[in-house]
């Protein structure tokens, strides 16, 4: 059975209090940083809502018919909608009656990836929700959701864990010898993101992205070519790193050598880079990267987003000492 991650306990308890007093909203919007485990949490919540005999504290029993169907991934009263990958829609799900005369639960993740038709269909359901319906929406970017949808949901925000809690959990998951603190620094304390980075080829990819970024700045590599390759693999990850490095360059520039930064292993490189550009330009470029990142959630073309950001970086370099 899926585990309840320790830093999610508080959000879980708030939801359970509402469930226990028959006061659970029809639409739950789960927000919080990427890499916290919101999706895993939402599945556990859905399973708990469809469990015949939840345990004390609300966790699903794992034994009843509802839990067995959920474990098999075939509960007829659960609709799992992942707009990014399956294009499946909610249309019609709530007009069918519950197979087991209980709740009907829909889980939409990531909710901001819904297209206009899916969002409209969801809105209709939210305007007149069936009595037994619970819709769980998961997003790291609530501002991208239509305001009409957000206003009909009750938001439950998942907070970042403290460093000791994150470190303790992450160390138990990583292969021995991994540097949990370094990974957490790089991922802004989001434990699942740190785990993915540590277990996969994430750190190698980051090193490659950094080398390419530096080469573009030195005008030794064609930004359009890099944009093409990053665009193909998905712009979100490289843009995330660029944003992370930009923030550190600004810290180093403003607070000097002693400043706390996320990318400790790149300190001297970032210091050198930040010294070659104008601080105001650096701020503007960081904002441009942030804007491009927001647009990766939309239908915008990934390659063009990266092109703008990299050409912007070349321009910032060319303007130094003006």
User: Counting Cβ atoms within 10 Å, is residue 200 exposed (0-12), middle (13-18) or buried (19+)?
Assistant: exposed
Does position 5 interact with Zn ion (CB under 5 A)? The reply is no
Q: Point out which span in 61-69, 160-168, 183-191, 204-212 binds Zn ion (CB under 5 A).
A: 61-69
Provide, rounded to whole angstroms, the least separation between the CB of residue 53 and Zn ion: 6
b/e sequence 34-46, b meaning 16+ C-beta within 10 Å:
bbbbbbbbbbbbb
Comparing CB distances to Zn ion, the nearer of 12 and 210 is 12
Provide, rounded to whole angstroms, the least separation between the CB of residue 43 and Zn ion: 14
CA separation for the pair 260, 7 (Å, rounded): 24
Do the beta carbons of residue 26 and residue 173 sit within 8 Å? Answer: no
Give the long-range contacts of residues 95-98, CB within 8 A, separation 24 or more: 95/130, 98/132
Closest CA to 209 of 310, 319, 312, 311: 310
Neighbours of 74 (CB within 10 A): 9
Comparing CB distances to Zn ion, the nearer of 60 and 191 is 60
3-class state of residue 129 by DSSP: coil
Comparing CB distances to Zn ion, the nearer of 58 and 110 is 58
By CB under 5 A, what part of segment 62-91 binds Zn ion?
A: 64, 67
Q: Which two tokens stand for residue 69?
A: 């169907």
Q: Point out which span in 59-67, 76-84, 181-189, 296-304 binds Zn ion (CB under 5 A).
A: 59-67
Q: Which of 61, 80, 215, 290 binds Zn ion (CB under 5 A)?
A: 61
Provide, rounded to whole angstroms, the least separation between the CB of residue 64 and Zn ion: 3
Provide, rounded to whole angstroms, the least separation between the CB of residue 63 and Zn ion: 6
Neighbours of 14 (CB within 10 A): 12
Comparing CB distances to Zn ion, the nearer of 64 and 311 is 64
Q: Which of 51, 149, 153, 309 binds Zn ion (CB under 5 A)?
A: 51
Provide, rounded to whole angstroms, the least separation between the CB of residue 156 and Zn ion: 22
What does the binding site for Zn ion look like in residue numbers (CB under 5 A)? Answer: 51, 60-61, 64, 67
């Amino acid at each position: 059975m899926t585990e309840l991650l320790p830093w999610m306990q508080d959000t879980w308890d708030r939801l359970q209090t509402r469930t226990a007093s028959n006061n659970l909203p029809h639409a739950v919007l789960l927000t919080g940083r990427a890499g916290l485990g919101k999706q895993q949490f939402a599945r556990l919540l859905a399973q708990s809502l469809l469990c015949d005999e939840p345990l004390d504290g609300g966790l699903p029993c794992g034994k009843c018919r509802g839990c067995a169907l959920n474990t098999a991934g075939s509960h007829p009263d659960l609709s799992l909608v992942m707009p990014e990958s399956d294009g499946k829609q909610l249309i019609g799900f709530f007009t069918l009656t519950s197979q087991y005369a209980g709740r009907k639960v829909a889980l939409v993740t990531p909710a901001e990836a819904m297209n206009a038709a899916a969002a409209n269909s969801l809105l209709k359901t939210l305007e007149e929700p069936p009595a037994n319906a619970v819709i769980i929406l998961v997003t790291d970017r609530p501002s991208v959701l239509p305001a009409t949808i957000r206003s009909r949901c009750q938001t439950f925000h998942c907070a970042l864990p403290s460093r000791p809690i994150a470190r303790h959990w992450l160390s138990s998951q990583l292969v021995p010898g991994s540097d949990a603190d370094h990974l957490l620094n790089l991922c802004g304390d989001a434990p699942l993101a740190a785990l993915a980075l540590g277990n996969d080829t994430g750190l190698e990819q980051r090193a490659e992205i950094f080398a390419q970024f530096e080469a573009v700045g030195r005008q030794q590599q064609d930004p359009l070519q890099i944009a093409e390759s990053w665009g193909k693999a998905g712009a979100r990850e490289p843009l995330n790193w660029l944003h992370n490095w930009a923030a550190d360059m600004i810290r180093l520039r403003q607070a000097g050598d002693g400043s706390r930064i996320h990318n400790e292993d790149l300190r001297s490189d970032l210091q050198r880079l930040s010294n070659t550009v104008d601080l105001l330009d650096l701020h503007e470029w960081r904002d441009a990267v942030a804007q491009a990142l927001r647009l990766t959630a939309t239908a915008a073309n990934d390659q063009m987003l990266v092109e703008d950001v990299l050409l912007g970086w070349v321009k910032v370099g060319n303007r130094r000492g003006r």
